[in-house]
Amino acid sequence: MFSGATTGVRSQHKLSALSPSSIASEQTYSGTHTFLRAPRVDRARAGDFAVLGIPLDIATSNRPGARLGPDAVRTASAQLAELKAYPGGFDPLSHVRIVDLGDALLDFGFPQTIPAAIEDAAFEIVSSGAFLCALGGDHFVSYPLLKAHARTHGPLTLIHFDAHPDTWTPRTGPDGSVEINHGTMFAQAIHDGLIDPKKSSQIGIRTWVDDPMGMNIFDSVAVADRGPNEIVAMVKALAGDSPCYLTVDIDCLDPAFAPGTGTPVMGGLTPRELLAMLRGLEDVRIVGCDVVEVAPAYDHGGITALAAATVVYEQACRLARKNGARADVYPWPGRAIPKGDDARAGQLGRM
C-alpha cells in the first residue's frame, strides 16, 4: 500500500520537474551520501569539479576529530542538493560535471608516507584538467595540496579564510627534520616557494603571529569595519590574474556559527560575511580549493558541516556560472535588475 502510494505520487508529479537532477531518485535523508549526490568515480577527467576527502587529523594541536569531517560535509551537502542554487536559481549539476572520488588512502601505520600520498592523489586529479576541491581533515592537508597544484601552475596566490595565520615558525628536530603541522604549513609553503606572499591574503584572522612572512592580513576587525565588498576589492587587486588557491578553515566563522572545529576562536566572521566575500571572488582565477577543520564531534545540529558544504557548493556554482548557468535574482519594488547574465552574476557579491 505504501509502495502504491509512492508510485501514485510519482505518476502525478514528475520529480525531475520539482527538484534538481542530483536527488531525483533518493530522499534527502537516506542513501549513501556523496557530495551533492554526485556520481562516485575512480578517476577525474578534464572539466570535472572533483571532490576528494582527506581524512587526516594527526597534525592538529588541539581537539582531534577532523578526520571525520569529509563524511559530515558530504552528509550535509544532501540538503543543498534538494533545491536549486540561491542566489541564481539553477542546478549546478546541470552545468558542471561534479564527481566524488571518495577519500585519499592514508596509511596511518606509516605516517611519514601520508604527505606524499595526499600530494600524489591530488596531482593525479589536477593533472587531468579537473578542478579539485578537497575536504579536510586538519589544515595541514593544504601543504601537500599546494605542492600538487604548484607542480602544474607554479607559485600560487593564497586566498586564506581562517582564525589563524598558520605561519608560525616550524621547529627543527634532532635529526634535522622540519616540523609541519596545521599551524606551520604556510610558513613552510612560503619557504618552499609554493606561495607568493606579496599577492596572498589572509581573511578573518584573530590570533597573533610575530612574523606574518609578508602575507596581507585582513583580520576579522577589518572585515567588520570595512565590509566584505571593500575587503574583496583589495584581495582581488593583490591577486591580479595570478593562479589562486582558495583555502577555507571553517574556524574563520565565529564559534556561534561553527562550533564543530578543533581550535575555535571568538570574534569571527558571520556566514553572511563569508558568503559575500566568496561570491565577490567570482572572477578571480581560482585553480583549486579546500575546506578544512570540520570536527563533527563538537558540532551542534550539523551547522558546522553545513557551513563547510555550502562553501564547496559556492565553488561549484561559480564554475556553473562560468559554464553558462543563468544567475537570476529576486525582484523587489524599486530594484533595478540589469539585463544579461553577466550583470546578474555581478550582483552576487552584494547579496
pLDDT of residue 301: 96
pLDDT of residue 328: 87
pLDDT of residue 54: 97
Mean pLDDT by 10 residues, the chain (351 residues): 34 40 59 84 95 94 93 95 92 96 94 95 98 96 98 98 93 82 92 97 97 96 97 98 98 98 97 98 97 97 98 97 90 73 48 49
Q: How many CA atoms lie within 13 A of 306 on its CB side?
A: 11
Q: Under a CB-based contact definition with an 8 Å cutoff, are residues 250 and 293 in contact?
A: yes
pLDDT of residue 139: 96
Residue 201 to residue 190: CA distance in whole angstroms: 13
pLDDT of residue 170: 86
pLDDT of residue 339: 59
- The residue written with cell numbers 609578508 in the block is 214
pLDDT of residue 224: 97
pLDDT of residue 26: 67
**Which residue from 179, 212, 180 is spatially nearest to 197, judged by alpha carbons?**
212
C-alpha cell at 148: 600538487
pLDDT of residue 341: 46
